[in-house]
Amino acid sequence: MYLRRVIIRRSIICLCFITISSVIYSATRPTQSDGYISIIVSIFTFKPKPKIVAEDGSFVTNPGYEIAQFVVVPLKEKFTELFNTLDQSEIKDYFTMVPQSAYHVTLAKLTYTAGNDPHNFQVLVREQQVLDARDTFTKVLAKDISIVNDNEIRVAVDFSGAFIDKVLKKAQKRWKNHFAHIIAKMHKSFYITIAYQYKPIPDKETLDRIETTLKSAQQFPFDVEIDPIEILASHDAVSFTPLLPDEQSP
């Protein structure tokens, strides 16, 4: 009886896999149209992030905590040119541009209730005081720009080897030792998000035009100055409050 149930269950799983595979193949296989090959794009592709932006392009309240470094404003010339190119393009029909004042590099995501507990809050305050006593102002190298997961435009950046060895690795080790239980994700690759999708991209042709705009806007690599490390409470994707206000810093 047990063997029979196993066989039936595996048969159902196999049938489901075949069905799903057929749907995926049908949705993505090349088709002949007007003398050229066009790609049928899956209905599940190019959708916005509902938890970050609303259908009207406004940012959705989504409180949480993270450890990050803000980009110094005003932006340097190449970064400003990149922003202006995208801000004046078709991209704005589908993406909400992040305000330049909210550009930042996330080093670690904390749990969304990380600062709610009094003990955890004090641990984070002490860590911010440790960070403030060190020089964590630095520069990153902007490498390229791309659409990630079909719904977010990011500029990939690299820290210098010296900053990683002297500052970042030591800080991340300290965070793991002192408050690993409230770390949701420790970032190993770094980026600056400059736009979030709010409207579905209708087809591959539109996506191709957007990607062409991104490629034509690239003047990489270039340096980006970023402010010292801060522990932040986030209200949405672009609104942040330092855990320790400046007047309380040592």
Q: What is the pLDDT of residues 8-46, one digit of tens each?
A: 334 433 444 333 344 334 444 443 333 333 323 333 345
pLDDT of 28: 40
Tokens representing 103 are 């550009």
Q: Name the residue with higher pLDDT: 31 or 48.
A: 48
Q: What is the DSSP string of 228-250?
A: PPEEEEESSSS-EEESS-GGG--
Tokens representing 93 are 């029909």
Residue 123 above 90 pLDDT?
yes
pLDDT-derived band at 79, boundaries 50, 70, 90: very high
Cα angle 145-146-150, degrees, rounded to a multiple of 5: 155
pLDDT of 47: 66
Residue 177 above 80 pLDDT?
yes
Single-letter residue type at 19: T
CATH annotation of 64-248 = 3.90.1140.10
Percent of residues, the chain, with pLDDT higher than 90: 71
pLDDT of 184: 97
pLDDT of 46: 58
pTM of the full structure? 0.79
Do residues 111 and 184 make contact, with C-beta atoms less than 8 angstroms apart? Answer: yes
Helix (H, G, I), strand (E, B) or coil at 96: strand
Please report, for the chain, the start and end positions of each structural domain, with discontinuous segments joined by +. Answer: 2-39, 64-248
Return d(Cα 107, Cα 190) in angstroms, integer.
7
pLDDT-derived band at 183, boundaries 50, 70, 90: very high
Going by their DSSP bridges, the two strands 183-186 and 138-148 should be labelled as: unpaired
pLDDT of 246: 64
pLDDT-derived band at 133, boundaries 50, 70, 90: very high
pLDDT of 6: 34
pLDDT-derived band at 49, boundaries 50, 70, 90: low
Return d(Cα 111, Cα 98) in angstroms, integer.
23
Q: Which range has the worst mean pLDDT, 38-52, 155-169, 192-206? A: 38-52
Most confident residue range from 22-31, 95-104, 207-216: 95-104
